[in-house]
């Protein structure tokens, strides 16, 4: 799990402990303490041992990462099924231009669906590609 290495170092120093002393108080290996302080990653067992040694809750040591939120949009692009998707053909450069235009606004390509892969209620005309774009929602 991700752990707040700065918090671990600050708690250790507030007690005037060396890494060796922290290892003794936690029952962990010195190398484990060094790795936790350098990389900010610890097993649940190590996190619990640190929390017990510092007399704090495990949550105080953990580094919460906000999950990334995405928004999506669908772009329909004219598509001539008689033209093969070859990067040397005009269609590919046209497709690149459309994707790059959206890319400049922060959108990234998530998926391209061709008409022959679309069935039922989601059917679109044979002359269109569905391009699903995504971008990170900034809080």
% of the chain beyond a pLDDT of 90: 50
Q: What CATH number corresponds to the domain at position 26?
A: 1.10.260.40
61, 83, 106 - which closes a domain: 61
Please report the pLDDT score of residue 63 as a whole number. 79
Q: Tens of pLDDT along 88-120?
A: 566 667 777 888 888 888 899 888 877 665 555
Please report the pLDDT score of residue 82 as a whole number. 54
3-state helix, strand, coil in the chain (%, to 5): 45, 20, 35
- Which residues make beta-bridge pairs with 70? 136
Mean pLDDT of 31-59: 96
Look at the chain and count its residues: 139
Indicate the SS3 state at residue 16.
coil
**Over 80: is that where the pLDDT of 69 sits?**
yes
φ and ψ at residue 51, rounded to 5 degrees = -60, -40
Shared domain check, 50 and 13: yes
Give the domain range for residue 115. 70-136
- If one counts the domains in the chain, the total is 2
CA 114 to chain centre: 28
CA-CA distance, 91 to 102, in Å (whole number)? 17
Shared domain check, 76 and 106: yes
Q: Pick the closest to residue 72 from 139, 6, 134, 4 (CA basis).
A: 134
Shared domain check, 84 and 53: no
Is pLDDT larger for residue 33 or for residue 99?
33
């Amino acid at each position: 799990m991700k752990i707040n290495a700065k918090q671990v170092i600050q708690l250790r120093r507030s007690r005037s402990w060396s890494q060796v002393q922290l290892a003794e108080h936690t029952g962990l290996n010195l190398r484990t303490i060094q790795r936790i302080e350098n990389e900010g990653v610890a097993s649940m067992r190590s996190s619990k041992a640190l929390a017990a040694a510092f007399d704090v809750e495990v949550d105080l040591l953990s580094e919460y990462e906000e999950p990334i939120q995405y928004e999506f949009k669908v772009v329909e692009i004219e598509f001539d099924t008689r033209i093969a998707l070859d990067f040397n053909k005009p269609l590919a450069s046209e497709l690149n231009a459309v994707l790059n235009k959206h890319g400049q606004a922060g959108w990234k390509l998530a998926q391209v669906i061709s008409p022959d892969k679309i069935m039922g209620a989601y059917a679109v005309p044979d002359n269109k590609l569905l391009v699903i774009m995504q971008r990170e929602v900034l809080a």
